[in-house]
A and B are shown apart, each in its own frame.
Chain A
Amino acid sequence: MTVMRFWSPTRQDASDIDEGAEEIPAKSALVPADSVAGRSVVIVIAIMTFLAALAANVAILVADASVEWRSDIAREATVQVRPTAGRDIEADVLTAAEAMRRTPGVLEARIYAQSESEALLKPWLGEGLDLSELPTPRMIVLKLDAENRVDIDRLRVELERVVPNAVLDDHHVFIERLGDMARAAVATAALVFVLILAAMAVAVTSATRAAVATNREIVEVLHMVGAADAFIAREFQRRFMALGLRGALMGGGGAVAFFVLAQFLARRWRTTGGGEQMEAMFGDFSLGVSGFLAILLLSGGVAALTGYLSRYIVLRHLRRLG
């Protein structure tokens, strides 16, 4: 050591100093752990992180699923040939199907046989009815090329030219409604997500205020030995960041466990009819890489947010004090 201090043993008697025997002294946190209502902060943060992770993943799930539904439906269109007096419906159906098949962009045109059409109506009309007496419309289901999209308006004009009593339905109303519903669901999930974060911020703010009040003595002493406000705020930030990290890992871990369990249960339910429908609607509940990353990112964000927020609260408090 080059700087000479008046208490340095070179000026006193150096005999009683044995440098090698120094045990390493500790460097404790300046804001004591037990001075912060730590457990309740951790629990609140854990629950909020869990809920936020749920909201975020529901949004991702619905958004992904709706894209799939819509592309599935958009690959289909139906032609309805209505029975009209004076026309041969069988001939009309064949003509319409042939015209459709000739159009580029239409991969397939499958004619529903009379019996198939009747089977579709059965649930509404009941058993034991002779449908051949009724003027039942006939269906042609078109499979459309997703890459080389057909011009629906031109297709419709073409269809009406060859078979005037045929109607083309490309499901666009249904697709639009489905899109609106999905968007509304995602927006709701996003709103819930934001509200959860806001509630968490409020909880952290009041916990920080309480911690500053509890540790007023420590803050005073730190000020007296020349600590700047930023130094003191950083000490609080460190404490709260640690709490935030603990809570976020608990909540994020809980969310991952939740989705793993949901996926497991979904697999077991798949053997039942309802399970198949669920899977068709929402996939198999698996988190996927994006969902897992979202939870990881969210947990880190929560810890950082907790730390920075408490630092900001402390700084503002100290500025007002000064």
Chain B
Amino acid sequence: MLTFENVGLRYGVGAETLRDINFHVAPRSFQFLTGPSGAGKTSLMRLIIMTLRPTRGLINIFGKDTAALSNEDVAETRRGIGVVFQDFRLLDHLTVYENVALPLRVLGREEWSYRGEVIELLRWVGLGERAHAVPTILSGGEKQRAAIARALISQPKLLLADEPTGNVDPTLARRILRLFIELHKSGTAVIIATHDLTLMDQYEEARRLVLADGRLHIFE
């Protein structure tokens, strides 16, 4: 469902940040994307969600060449991808409930039709009591879970999470990982960018995509 072919990325002038990246992500697969800070994990995720264009190579998502997509097609493709951003990107003028419901609203669904769904998911991530709070008063861990809930709500085919345990204690990190594994078992392909080795050790079956010196090494 996701293929990189000889992808290179260069910011401005200088050496390529990403070089000759080749990989394939199968439906219903689970992988960690790892590598030291500054290796290019976030950049690679941005290539997938098309907020960044590669300087060379081909990226194919859901059977479509991303270089050829119109604005409308990009929006359509993104609706199949759930993203948990490193900095959460919650909207402060909306409640937690409204933030999580946003992808469904974008799909044009009516509020009454998804209310139960969203509230169940908020309970599932442990935010049932915080539905009406605004993000500014949430703790780091609560924001993290709200951001995760927003990425899950539309049951995307592909889920990207950028350092989803970066701001939380080990206990919550374990819980969050279990959420992703649960999601994976329900049929979603998952890519988690992390440099947290203990997190990766908790799920040995996962593939590991390792970025080092701009190149990608794959450990099945």
Known: A25-B131, A229-B71. A32 touches B78 (CB 8 A): no
Cβ B71 vs Cβ A224 within 8 A: no
Cβ A318 vs Cβ B71 within 8 A: yes
Cβ B75 vs Cβ A26 within 8 A: no
In the bound complex, CA of A76 to CA of B55 (Å):
86
Cβ B75 vs Cβ A227 within 8 A: yes
Which residue of chain A has the shortest Cβ distance to B185 in the bound complex?
Answer: A6
Known: A6-B183, A25-B131. A226 touches B98 (CB 8 A): no
Cβ B89 vs Cβ A28 within 8 A: no
Q: Scoring A residues 192 to 232 as 1 if CB is less than 8 Å from chain B, else 0, what string do you get?
A: 00000000000000000000000001101111111111010
B102 interface residue per 8 A CB criterion: yes
- Most-contacted residue by chain B among A19, A28, A225, A229 (CB, 10 A): A225
A133 interface residue per 8 A CB criterion: no
Q: Scoring B residues 110 to 154 as 1 if CB is less than 8 Å from chain A, else 0, what string do you get?
A: 010001111111011100000110000000000000000010100
B91 interface residue per 8 A CB criterion: yes
B42 interface residue per 8 A CB criterion: no
Within A220-271, which residues are at the interface with B (CB < 8 Å)? 220-229, 231
User: How many residues in B have their beta carbons less than 8 Å from beta carbons of A?
Assistant: 47
- Most-contacted residue by chain A among B79, B83, B93, B155 (CB, 10 A): B93
Within B156-175, which residues are at the interface with A (CB < 8 Å)? none
A177 interface residue per 8 A CB criterion: no
Q: How large, as a class, is the contact surface on chain A? A: 35 or more
In the bound complex, CA of A221 to CA of B100 (Å):
12
Binds B, one of A8-16, A91-99, A119-127: A8-16
Cβ A225 vs Cβ B132 within 8 A: no
User: What secondary structure prevails in chain B residues at the interface with A?
Assistant: helix
Contacts of B185 in A (CB 8 A): 6
In the bound complex, CA of A318 to CA of B75 (Å):
12
Contacts of B75 in A (CB 8 A): 223, 226-229, 231
Cβ B95 vs Cβ A225 within 8 A: no
Partner of B152 from the list A7, A217, A221, A319 (CB cut-off 8 Å) is: A7
Cβ B120 vs Cβ A226 within 8 A: no
Contacts of A8 in B (CB 8 A): 120
B186 interface residue per 8 A CB criterion: yes
Which residue of chain B has the shortest Cβ distance to A33 in the bound complex?
Answer: B93
A27 interface residue per 8 A CB criterion: yes
Cβ A9 vs Cβ B120 within 8 A: yes
B76 interface residue per 8 A CB criterion: yes
Known: A17-B120, A25-B115, A26-B98. A226 touches B103 (CB 8 A): yes
Cβ B71 vs Cβ A322 within 8 A: yes
A5 interface residue per 8 A CB criterion: yes
Cβ A25 vs Cβ B120 within 8 A: no
A22 interface residue per 8 A CB criterion: yes
In the bound complex, CA of A25 to CA of B89 (Å):
21
Question: 9 closest pairs, A vs B, by CB?
Answer: A226-B79, A6-B186, A7-B124, A226-B78, A322-B71, A228-B75, A32-B93, A227-B106, A25-B97
List residues of B whose CB falls within 8 A of some A CB.
49, 51, 70-72, 74-81, 83, 85, 89, 91, 93-95, 97-98, 102-103, 105-107, 111, 115-121, 123-125, 131-132, 150, 152, 155, 182-183, 185-186
23 A-B pairs with C-beta separation under 8 A: A5-B117, A5-B120, A6-B182, A6-B185, A6-B186, A25-B98, A25-B111, A25-B115, A25-B132, A26-B97, A27-B105, A30-B94, A35-B93, A217-B91, A223-B75, A224-B83, A226-B77, A226-B80, A226-B107, A227-B106, A228-B71, A229-B75, A322-B71
